[in-house]
């Protein structure tokens, strides 16, 4: 993967620094703290994957939005890899585990202020979809007159 970067040798395209840690967990924690300081409700948008542990009946179109405020959760932990807590869903306490790479956004319910994050897709699926659409565009006959 390449990135445009400014380095001592100048501005250019260099291999991406893979050892750099993602800023996402820090931004998630920052928005949660900002919400708490201002009396807002932090909502977490999650793209559900096999690694995510959430109540399946609340998943819509492969996504779920979770209220992660202190009044809605118990034992909330947000580390660099996971967000974990217990919460009540229809009165039943359930454990929730969300890998950080499944978080698609964090925002304040009352203002909508927050961050949206790109979710990495499975490279094989992405390549197959891109290849299929390219193949179709090259191998289908245009409609209309020749």
C-alpha neighbours within 13 Å on the C-beta side of residue 79: 6
Domain contains 64:
yes
Which backbone phi and psi does 4 adopt, to 5 degrees?
-85, 130
Domain contains 87:
yes
Query: What pLDDT score does 120 carry?
Result: 75
Q: What is the CATH number of the domain that holds 106?
A: 2.30.30.220
- Nearest CA-CA partner of 83 in 19, 26, 37: 26
Query: What pLDDT score does 145 carry?
Result: 52
Report the alpha-carbon distance of residue 100 to residue 106 in Å, rounded.
11
pLDDT tens per residue across all 146 residues of the chain: 455 555 666 666 555 554 467 899 999 999 999 999 999 999 999 999 999 999 999 999 999 999 999 999 999 999 999 999 999 999 999 999 999 999 999 999 999 999 999 987 666 555 555 555 444 444 455 555 54
Q: Which residues of 117-135 are buried (b: 16+ CB within 10 A; e: fewer)?
A: beeeeeeeeeeeeeeeeee
Secondary structure E strands in 2-143:
2-7, 10-15, 42-47, 63-67, 73-78, 82-89, 92-99, 103-108, 114-116
Query: What pLDDT score does 104 carry?
Result: 96
> What range defines the domain where residue 84 resides?
22-134
How many folded domains does the chain comprise? 1
């Amino acid at each position: 993967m390449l990135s445009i970067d400014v380095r001592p040798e100048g501005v250019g395209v260099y291999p991406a620094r893979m050892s750099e840690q993602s800023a996402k967990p820090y931004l998630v924690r920052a928005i949660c703290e900002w919400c708490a300081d201002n009396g807002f409700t932090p909502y977490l948008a999650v793209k559900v994957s096999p690694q995510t542990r959430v109540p399946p009946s609340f998943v819509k179109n492969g996504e779920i939005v979770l209220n992660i405020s202190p009044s809605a959760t118990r034992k909330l932990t947000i580390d660099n890899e996971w967000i974990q807590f217990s919460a009540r869903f229809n009165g039943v306490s359930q454990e929730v585990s969300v890998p950080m790479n499944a978080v698609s956004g964090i925002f304040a319910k009352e203002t909508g202020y927050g961050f949206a994050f790109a979710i990495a897709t499975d490279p094989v699926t992405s390549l197959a979809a891109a290849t299929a659409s390219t193949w179709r565009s090259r191998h289908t006959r245009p409609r209309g007159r020749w």
